[in-house]
Amino acid sequence: MSDMNELVQRYLAAWNETDAAARQAVLAEVFAEDAVYTDPLVSVRGRDGLDATIAAVQGQFGGLVFSLGGAVDAHHDIARFTWHLGPEGAEPIVIGFDVAVVGDDGRISQVLGFLDKVPAGA
């Protein structure tokens, strides 16, 4: 997957996929097997850990969708992008940005996530 914009869109698709088998297929396409994901709330290694993290987020924020919050900024094998989480077509409830490192195989090997806007009690 050579296009960084497409890779980020597939990354967000993984976060939106509620069918576990379909989500695991997207994760295998987008993430290296031993990928590391770290944000203020969790740090996991491997697709299974990321899958469990996504399932937990979907459980907490059911019915909401992730979308790209602006242009993907990329250089070398690194991308940063803002994402929104909220009702489709409405104001986001959560806003964050991620920095993704892409490995030689074209899949994400590391994500560093940051939260810019989080609702109270979340």
pLDDT digits (tens, 9 = 90+) for 3-13: 999 999 999 99
* Stated pTM of the model: 0.94
- Taking alpha carbons only, the member of 103, 92, 90 closest to residue 82 is 92
pLDDT digits (tens, 9 = 90+) for 45-70: 999 999 999 999 999 999 999 999 99
- Judge contact between 68 and 59, C-beta under 8 A: no
State residue 120's pLDDT score: 81
